Amino acid sequence: MPRGRYSLHDPHDHTPLGEEHFHCAPGPSGWRYVSQRINLEGTPTGSVDLALDARGRPIRLELHAGDWQVRAGALNGVTWVRTDPTGAHATEDNAPAHAFTGTSPAFLVATARLLNLTPASSSSPATRIRLVAFTDPVLAPRTLDQSWALKKSEAHPTDNGPLIVDEYQVTALDTGEQHAVHIAGDVVLAAPGIELEHLETPPSTFT
At 49-107, the pLDDT tens digits run 999 999 999 999 999 998 899 999 999 999 999 998 887 888 999 999 999 999 999 99
Tell me the sheet residues that pair with 140.
135
Distance CA 94, CA 73 (A): 10
Are 120 and 150 in contact by the 8 Å Cβ rule? The answer is yes
**How open is the CA angle 183-133-180, to the nearest 5 degrees?**
30
Q: Which residues of 180-204 are buried (b: 16+ CB within 10 A; e: fewer)?
A: ebbbbbbbbbebebbebeebeeebb
**Global model pTM greater than 0.75:** yes
Reported as a pLDDT band with limits 50, 70 and 90, residue 189 is very high
In this prediction, residues 105-130 reach a mean pLDDT of 87
pLDDT of residue 125: 77
